[in-house]
Amino acid sequence: RVEYFKDHSDVRIDAGVFGQNLWEFTLTPEFKVRDNMIVRVEYRHDDSNRLVFRDGAGMSDSQDTIAINALVYF
């Protein structure tokens, strides 16, 4: 999945910066590990034309996240 968001008036995302463009890319493979269980591993990359993401060194224009979830049907 890929998304793009343009917020040049700072109306939707109140990050204190104007003229922001955001885009993200998400990849989520799904694995059926049992008849009643699915595991998903999600990788997401967020990117902005402004420094809006906080990291260990201060502010950044991008961030990466990884999530794992399991679904059990009964």
The 10s digit of each residue's pLDDT in 22-31 is: 999 999 999 9
The half-sphere exposure of 12 on its side-chain side, counting CA atoms within 13 A, is 8
Structure tokens, 59: 């502010």
Query: Residue 43 and residue 13: Cα distance in Å, rounded?
Result: 23
Contact assessment for residue 42 and residue 66, using Cβ atoms and an 8 Å cutoff: yes
Q: Is the pTM of this model over 0.85?
A: no
| pLDDT > 90 in the chain, percent | 58
Predicted local confidence at residue 12, as pLDDT: 62
